[in-house]
Structure 1
Amino acid sequence: MLASRVGGFSQLLLSSLAPSATLTAATRVLDSAAALTSGPSCRSFAAAEPVWDPLWRQTEPLLQPTNLREFQPRFKGLLVDAAGTLLSPSEPAAEVYLRYARKYGCDLSPLEVLQRFRAAYNTPWGQSTIRYVGDGRPFWRHIVFQSTGCCSDEMFEELYDHYARGDSYKVAPGAIEALRRIRDAGYKTAVVSNFDTRLWRILADLRLSDLFDAVVVSAEVQAEKPNPVIFEAACAALGLPPEQCVHVGDDRRNDLYGARDSGCFAWLWGQDVFTFAEVERRLATRNYFDSLTEAP
């Protein structure tokens, strides 16, 4: 499937060259496109960069693309997922749960807590159509009690407050610097997250709040990714149409497919992009390609 996509794209590239483009330039385009139709580079359409990037950066009038620039999206907004992309826990959740629960008599192992947590989190919660409502306490109380077997409200409140603090999370390496440069370049930015209202405090503690024009959490808009409503709310908060925004997140269903369904572009964290410096570069070159590999 990728071979046909790249083949078609090479034709678009050729048609976009100015009529006076040299035969050498056209040959290089064809050679680069042909190399993409086989071998390991087929695993990601990002491998097409050697083809399109020199053309989009071309300053020589004889070689400047014509139709291709009409084809490019013009990104004005960046949407960023929080947990798993911008932020990650500063220590394993099972160890944190157990540290608090042992004070109240829990004698499970870290592996048992982890297994119970996953089972509880992945089981549909019947109390609401979405997991996080307001501060998320009802849902998280259910998860904590199921994970630890401890039903102490005091223990829950201690653990809940632990995850409301910024020092319980790590910011992706280089994210702050890259986001600052992205904003300085004129892009509008928003956090879009399936989270409860604690996210506001977390971002403030980590000195991230000033890097975003909007923070959109599922608990406040009453819609969770992949529901397009949450992406539409983020675009509206930025004052931009979805087609001018690109979303970055680590979950194929929630982030990639959800953003696409709303009309946004999307890059899958850990596959299409690996760092925020790479996000910055792709914004600058208007590289809109996302993951084309099949879902497992």
Structure 2
Amino acid sequence: TMLRLRLLTWDVKDTLLRLRHPIGENYSALAQVHGVQVRPEALTKSFHQAYKVQSKHFPNYGLSKGLSSKQWWADVVKQTFRLAGVHEDRLLTSIAESLYREYCSAQTWELLPGARETLGQCRQLGIRMAVISNFDMRLEKILSHCNLRHHFDFVLTSEEAGFAKPDLRIFQRALHISGVAPQQAAHVGDSYVKDYRAARDAGMHSFLLTAAGCANRWEREVPKEHVLPSLTHLLSVIGKG
């Protein structure tokens, strides 16, 4: 059966855009500009630790606890460096502010293979597109800087929605904004739980982008025709559904 889609929603990080360099390398290079030497491996390790704790105590950028996403990220950055042995507070504040700006710039991100072509072709098919992403409000700017923003009717971040995927309400909000029924919408993302499963639970179609040839533990749960080995693959399945 042809899948008559009116709306296609997209995850961004690791679906359309990815970091050009590992986080530890970014953090280490920026610390060096501030005159601090810390090994990238140490920062990668401490970042994952800091991020995990912060996400647990203050989910979705701590919005319900009165934090701003900027403050949330500053706390993660400072704690990352503290765990790696850097403690001078004024220095940590400067590093956090520089990193917050740097993550907005196109230099920090790169497009996944096939992203630009696939978005262009979907638009030519007349399908409306939007973003549903667990991201903070910098996402609009990042998409503009990477020259992707014009493809989308709207960008819905978890910060703006007040809910983060896999919460169904962020998908429902997107459907409500676009006035499209879930059965006429599909979502594309790289997370089984937050993208594939959640969109299906919201009544939408969905496709799971997997790193090429990367077998994962969800394989049995996802029908082959819902798996995208690459973004360019989407056009061959959108017609068949």
TM-score of the aligned structures, taking structure 2 as reference length: 0.82
AA of the residue aligned to 2:147:
R
Is the aligned partner of 1:140 residue 2:80? no
2:60 to 100, 106, 130: 130
Structure 2: any 5+ residue segments left out of the alignment? Answer: 212-226
Taking the aligned partners of 2:6 and 2:68, their CA distance within structure 1 comes to: 31
Establish whether residue 88 from structure 1 lines up as the match of residue 43 from structure 2: no
Aligned to 1:249: 189
- State whether residues 174 and 277 of structure 1, in contact with CA within 8 Å, keep that contact through their aligned partners in structure 2: yes
Cα distance in 2 for residues equivalent to 1:132 and 1:187: 34
CA drift of 1:109 comes to 1.7
**In the TM superposition, what is the alpha-carbon distance from 1:101 to its structure 2 partner?**
1.9
Instruction: State the number of aligned residues.
Output: 216
Which digits, 9 at most, give the CA deviation of each residue in 1:219-271, with x for residues without a partner?
10111000011111222222211121111111111111211221112211116
**What is the 5 A alignment of 1:30-109?**
69=1, 73-104=3-34, 106-109=36-39
The equivalent of 1:192 in structure 2 is 132
Cα offset, 1:168, TM superposition: 1.2
**In angstroms, what is the RMSD of aligned CA positions?**
2.0
Change (3 A) 1:126 1:251: closer
Q: Deviations over 1:178-216 (max 9, x none)?
A: 211111111111111000111111111111111111211
Give the SS at the match of 1:285: coil
Matched-pair contact (CA < 8 Å) for 1:106–1:148: no
User: Unpaired segments of 5 or more residues in structure 1?
Assistant: 1-68, 287-296
Q: 1:225 touches 1:255 (CA, 8 Å); kept in 2?
A: yes
Cα gap change, 1:285/1:135 in structure 2, threshold over 3 Å: closer, same or farther? farther
Say which of 17, 28, 40 aligns to 1:110: 40
The reply to whether residue 279 of structure 1 matches residue 234 of structure 2 is yes
Q: 2:158 matched to which residue of 1? A: 218
Give the aligned partner of residue 50 of structure 1.
Answer: none
Give me the whole-angstrom Cα distance separating, in 1, the residues matched to 2:52 and 2:175: 29
**Contact map agreement 2:120 2:151 (CA 8 A) in 1:** yes
Which of 175, 197, 200 is the matching residue for 1:235? 175
Q: Is the 8 A contact 1:101 1:148 kept in 2?
A: no
Residue 113 of structure 1, CA deviation: 0.7
CA contact (8 A) 1:189 1:238 kept: no
- For the pair 1:158 / 2:158, whether they are aligned, the reply is no
Could you give the per-residue CA deviations for residues 165-185 of structure 1, whole angstroms, max 9, x where no partner exists?
Answer: 122111112211221111111
What is the CA–CA distance in structure 1 between the aligned matches of 2:149 and 2:10, rounded to whole Å?
Answer: 13
The separation in 1 between residues aligned to 2:159 and 2:202, in whole angstroms, is 19
